[in-house]
Amino acid sequence: MIFQFDDHSYIRGNIADRGPCPGLNALANQGFLPRDGKNITLERVEAVLMSTLHMDKALASSLARSLRPLVRKDGTFDLVDMRRHNVIEHDISFTRLDFRQGDNYTFQPAMFKALLEDADGGSITIKTLAKTYVRRHKENKASGGSGLPINLWFVNLLQTVSFLNTAQTGGKLSRETMTTFYTEERFPDEILKNEKTRTLFGLVGSAFILLFYVVF
C-alpha cells in the first residue's frame, strides 16, 4: 500500500501525545505520520521510513517490526505507547531520564548539552557517540541503575548510531543538525532530500564500529 501526504509543514505536537523516540515524533510533527500520534499501523511506519527517510526494505521492516509489542488488537499503536518501559524505551538514554527517575520520555536539555560536549566542540561522530555511551553507562551504574537486559543492550547500540545512519551526512552530524532533530523533533531538509539509501547492513555495521570504540 502506498501512503501519500501533501502537507509536511512543521507543527510541534503536544508532548502528551508523543513518546521518547525523536525520530517518530519528528515524522508526526512533519505530517508523514498522523499528527496526533494516534492509530498508527506498522505498515504505515514501514512505508514512511522507506519513502521519507529512504530506508531499504530490510531496514524499514526491521524497525517497524520492533514496534509490534506495542500494537493493539485493532492493529494500531499510539506514539505515547512507546513510553512503555523495557519494550523499545529503556534506561541509559542519551537525552531522557531513566524509568525509576519518574519521567522516561521528556527531553532533557542538560543531557543533550552533555552529549554535544562529548564532541569537544566538533561534529558528532561514532567516536564521540562511543564516549557518550560509556559516560551514560557509568552514570547509570553510579546512580544505582541495574544496566540493561541483553536484548535491550543491543537495541541501545543500534539506537546510539541510528540517527547517524539515517542522516547519511558523511559520518558526521553538525551541532545544528543535532539541535534541530533533538530540540525541535524535526528532520532538516538535508536529510529528507538526501536520497542515498539507508540500509540495515549500514546500521548494524555502525553499531559494531561503535562497540569497537567502546571496548578499545
Look up the CATH number of the domain holding residue 61.
Answer: 1.10.489.10
Give me the pLDDT at residue 7, please.
82
pLDDT greater than 60 at residue 2: no
Per-residue model confidence (pLDDT) at position 3: 45
pLDDT computed for residue 5 by the predictor: 52
Confirm whether 121 is domain-assigned: yes
Number of separate domains in the chain? 1
Residue 4 has pLDDT above 50, yes or no: no
Question: Binning pLDDT at 50, 70 and 90, where does residue 6 land?
Answer: low
Identify whether 2 is part of a domain. Answer: no
- The answer as to whether 6 is a domain residue is no
Task: Determine, yes or no, domain membership for 66.
Answer: yes
| Count of other CB atoms within 10 angstroms of residue 8 | 14
> Does residue 44 lie in a domain region?
yes
Segment 58-94, tens digit of pLDDT = 999 999 999 999 999 999 999 999 999 999 999 999 9
Average pLDDT of span 111-119: 99
What would the pLDDT profile of 132-150 be if each residue is shown by its tens digit? 999 999 999 999 998 899 9
> Is residue 102 in some structural domain?
no
Q: What is the pLDDT of residue 1?
A: 42
What is the domain extent for residue 195? 15-91+107-215
SS (H, E, C) the chain: CCCCCCCCCCCCCCHHHCCCCHHHHHHHHCCCCCCCCCCECHHHHHHHHHHHCCECHHHHHHHHHCCHHHCCCCCCECHHHHHCECCCECCCCCCCCCHHHCCCCCCCHHHHHHHHHCCCCCCECHHHHHHHHHHHHHHHHHCCCCCCCHHHHHHHHHHHHHHHHHHCCCCCECHHHHHHHHHHCCCCHHHHCCCCCECHHHHHHHHHHHHHHHHC
